[in-house]
Structure 1
């Protein structure tokens, strides 16, 4: 599957069940999210604009995603709502590429690769990195894991199972 087709398959309305483990504090927390993910073609103006602060050539954009998230953590009364933009730049011959994440005024650059139908995104942080892996069990069920490292120590790990609720994968 090429990278554009993989990101197209992420589009839709998803319900996510998440469990997050704080490894250092030996605690866990569950939560749920409703995700609305919109596939964006390489020509989308918002993708071009997101590349500007990091100096990337817009002709290298492969595609992008606009993600709206509405989350609720178990035991919390306040919902968390956010929106983000992901810009996927054309991968190198080895299959790795640059991924830009923009949320509000924050713009982060990481890398991605797809191996054996599993997407891995690695994003450096000020103190370490976040590694996220995503794969499909079937077209309407996907799994996602993430690990937050501070230095070389894994601090937080999470697992999500996500069910497509609507807006099926676009047909090309």
Structure 2
């Protein structure tokens, strides 16, 4: 599977059930999110703009995703809405390449890397307080799994696991 095909499979409306474990305090929190993920072709203006903002050649863009998330942590009354743009550049080999990411309202984005092997995408990208490594894979076309680990200078700070269900109609069959 190529990165463009993988990003296409991520598009849609998803319900996410998440558990996050904080290693320093040995506590866990559960939460839910509604995700709306839009696939963006390499020629999309937002894709090209993010490439330029982060000093990357926009001609190398493979595709992008616009991700809108509405999240709530169990026990809290207020939900949090975020929007982000993610752009994958053409792979440097068959399986890996540069990944750009910017959260709406942030001063600057981040440059990381992705690897796509055996239909599992692994992302490594800088985050406040360290680096996040995230893995995404599909159990079937409408169920996906996602894990993440935040590692700081002192070691692993937190881990999370998400199970996500595509809402509505399944992804159309490939032609």
Fold match (TM-score > 0.5): yes
| Comparing 162-171 and 95-104, the one that deviates more | 162-171
1:70-127 deviation line (CA, Å, top 9, x unaligned): 0010000110001000011000124211111111233111100011111000012364
Aligned twin of 1:136: 138
The Cα of 1:20 is off from its aligned counterpart by 0.2
SS in 2 for 1:136: strand
Q: Contact 1:102–1:108 at 8 Å: present in 2 too? A: yes
Aligned residues: 172
Q: Is the 8 A contact 1:11 1:168 kept in 2?
A: no
Query: Is 1:12–1:167's contact at 8 Å kept on the other side of the alignment?
Result: no
Take 1:116 and 1:128, find their aligned partners in 2: how far apart are those partners? 27
Match of 1:3 in 2: 3
1-structure distance, mates of 2:149, 2:162: 12
Give the equivalent residue in structure 1 for 2:148.
146
Aligned ranges for residues 1-172 of structure 1 at < 5 Å?
1-103=1-103, 104-105=105-106, 106-125=108-127, 127-151=129-153, 153-166=155-168, 168-170=170-172, 171=174
State the shift of 1:152 in Å. 5.3
- For 1:138 and 1:169, the matched residues in 2 are separated by 11
After TM superposition, the score normalised by the length of structure 1 is 0.95
SS of structure 2 residue aligned to 1:166 = coil
Whole-Å Cα distance in 2 between the matches of residues 126 and 136 of structure 1? 28
The answer to whether the Cα contact below 8 Å between 1:47 and 1:87 also exists between their aligned partners in 2 is yes
Aligned equivalents of 1:99 and 1:39: distance in 2? 15
Q: Which has the higher contact order (CA 8 A, sep 6+)?
A: 1
TM-score, normalised relative to structure 2:
0.93
**Gaps in structure 2 of 5+ consecutive residues:** none
Runs of at least 4 residues of structure 1 off by over 6 A? Answer: none
